[in-house]
Amino acid sequence: MTDLNDIIKPSNVAVITGGASGIGLAAAKHFAAAGMSVAIADLGGDRLAKAAEELKAISGEEHVMAIETDVSDKQALAALERAVIQRFGRVHVLMNNAGIGPETSIFSADSGWDAILGVNLMGVVNGTRAFGPNMLAHGEPGLIINTGSKQGITTPPGNPAYNVSKSGVKVFTEALQHELRNTEGGKISAHLLIPGFVFTGLTKGDRAEKPAAAWTSEQTVDFMIESIKKGDFYILCPDNDVARPVDERRMAWAMGDIIENRPPLSRWHPDYADKFKAFLEGK
Active site residues: 162
Count Cβ atoms within 10 A of the Cβ of residue 193 and give its class: 0-12 exposed, 13-18 middle, 19 or more buried. Answer: buried
Q: CB-hemisphere CA count at 13 Å for 28?
A: 32
Looking at the DSSP bridge assignments, the partners of residue 41 are: 17, 67
* DSSP H/E element including 28: helix 22-33
Helical H runs in 89-191?
Answer: 110-116, 122-137, 151-154, 160-181
Closest CA to 2 of 147, 132, 98, 145: 145
- The set of residues, in sequence order, having a beta carbon less than 8 Å from that of 210 and lying 6+ positions away, is 199, 204, 216
Handedness of CA 129, 29, 115, 113 (dihedral sign): positive
- The set of residues, in sequence order, having a beta carbon less than 8 Å from that of 186 and lying 6+ positions away, is 136, 180
Looking at the DSSP bridge assignments, the partners of residue 39 are: 15, 65
Whether 188 and 142 have beta carbons less than 8 Å apart is answered as yes
